[in-house]
Amino acid sequence: MEQKHIGQRINVTRTSMPPYEEYIKAIRPLWDSHWLTNMGEYHNKFENRLKEYLDVPELSLMVNGHMALEMTIQAFGFPKGSEVVTTPFTFISTTHAIVRNGLDPIFCDIKFDDYTIDETKIEELITEKTVAIVPVHVYGNVCNVEEIDRVAKKYDLKVIYDAAHAFGVKYKNISIGNFGDAAIFSFHATKLFNSIEGGALATGNIELLKKLYDLKNFGIRSEEIVVSVGANAKMNEFQAIMGLCNLDYIEGNRKKRKKIVKRYREWFEKIEGIKLMKINEDANHNFAYFPIIIDNKVYGMTRDELYEKLMVQNIYTRKYFYPITSDQACFKNRYKNVNLTIARYCASRVLLLPLYPELADEDIDRIAGIIKFQGVK
Ligand SMILES: *Cc1c(COP(=O)(O)O)cnc(C)c1O
């Protein structure tokens, strides 16, 4: 009789969009200007509004988060073969951005409470070839920015934060884009905030900002002068307008997400074998993701079994992040062999539950109920 419980398909996320008429009205001027890309009016407007919203000194819009990260790393001009200490518990983009710059990722294990890089293990991985640290504020959890900063200063390393998950997060009342030498954001459709696709680099370093402006437009400085080997990573006007429209709804969405997370937490506090991520009391969380870690020995079922059980009920969770990036076919056994016990433990047990502003209480209860009763009761 399980059939009758199957409701509408629920995905792990649902892209936020402004009302149709609002976007259509907003893009209407493009049919007059015929200016669709190359740092247009809306690109510049969006850049300024984001700079203000994210409260960062400088910001450069990019076509997506990946290119923001890859080009930021490129802009530092590290010698090929240099080493970058990073986390393997992330989206593949982080590691790709390092390797595509001809640098070697040195994977560092993570912490069990919030899944960010274990700052106490960074120092032992540093060699004379190390040039940078690329940590990730995974699920919007703030890395130990003070300790990372201390280590970076001691060894004269650059710190580039992958803040793709951390839109709107503040740490000790300071916006997350202000830590390290640079931070990158993603505005992909599946993220907390989107401009269809999109990304940005935030920095206080004007030189870096200028380099990024060249790099994202083929290294073109002026009509007849090309100063660097760039590529094309510019954000177009349709993206910028979507971003501008969506920005008006971000606070309302945040409140809805907060309520959903609260309801989930109430359910899971009573379930043995399910661990929730630790909330940092010094940070304003953005409620972008809701990961649970399943201890199969206590819970009585593995993560993969639960994933399947939910899927049968039309609930599509994600094993995010599994496997860790260092174990992917393209990277396995290529780089320094480091003990990544905690990262692997988490990756094999983590499940991301559906979380988006429109998720109804009944849906939350249905999802949590299946997890509590290990199937439909
Ligand atoms: C999404 C994401 C990226 C890449 O951003 P895109 O906008 O999709 O290119 C990079 N790092 C992390 C951690 C991400 O989640």
Q: Identify the pLDDT of residue 376.
A: 75
- Map residue 47 onto helix, strand or coil: helix
Please work out whether the CB of residue 162 comes within 6 Å of at least one atom of ligand 1: yes
Residue 377, pLDDT score: 67
374: confidence class by pLDDT, cuts 50, 70, 90: confident
In DSSP notation, 99-113 reads HTTT-EEEE--B-TT
Distance 200 CA to ligand 1 centre (A): 11
Whole-number Å distance, alpha carbon 93 to ligand 1 midpoint, is 6
Q: What are phi and psi of 263, to 5 degrees?
A: -65, -45
User: Does residue 180 have its Cβ closer than 6 Å to ligand 1?
Assistant: no
Q: For residue 190, how far is its CA from the centre of ligand 1 (angstroms)?
A: 10
**237 vs 215: CA distance, rounded Å:** 19
Atom 2, ligand 1: residue with shortest CA distance: 164
* Contact 186 CB / ligand 1 (< 6 Å): yes
- Residue 8's pLDDT band, with cuts at 50, 70 and 90, is confident
pLDDT at 2: 45
d(CA 349, CA 305): 11
User: Which residues, in sequence order, are bridge partners of residue 136?
Assistant: 162
Report helix, strand or coil for 276. strand
CA gap 50, 55 in Å, rounded: 8
What pLDDT does residue 7 have? 74
What does the pLDDT look like over 36-90, one tens digit per residue?
Answer: 999 999 999 999 999 999 999 999 999 999 999 999 999 999 999 999 999 999 9
> Which residue in 44, 25, 290 sits closest to 165, CA to CA?
290
Summary mean pLDDT of the chain? 96
Give distance in angstroms: CA of 66 to centre of ligand 1: 6
Check: CB of residue 106 under 8 Å from CB of residue 83.
Answer: yes
Whether residue 317 has its Cβ less than 6 Å from ligand 1 = no
Q: Which atom of ligand 1 is nearest to the CA of 93?
A: 10
The verdict on the CB of residue 188 being under 6 Å from ligand 1 is yes
pLDDT exceeds cutoff 50 at 1: no
Q: Are 130 and 105 in contact (CB under 8 A)?
A: no
User: Would you state the pLDDT for residue 5?
Assistant: 55
Nearest atom in ligand 1 to the alpha carbon of residue 94 is: 11
Query: Which tens digits make up the pLDDT trace of 167-225?
Result: 999 999 999 999 999 999 999 999 999 999 999 999 999 999 999 999 999 999 999 99
User: What whole-number distance in Å separates Cα of residue 107 and Cα of residue 74?
Assistant: 19
3-state secondary structure of 262: helix
The closest-lying atom of ligand 1 relative to the alpha carbon of residue 191 is 1
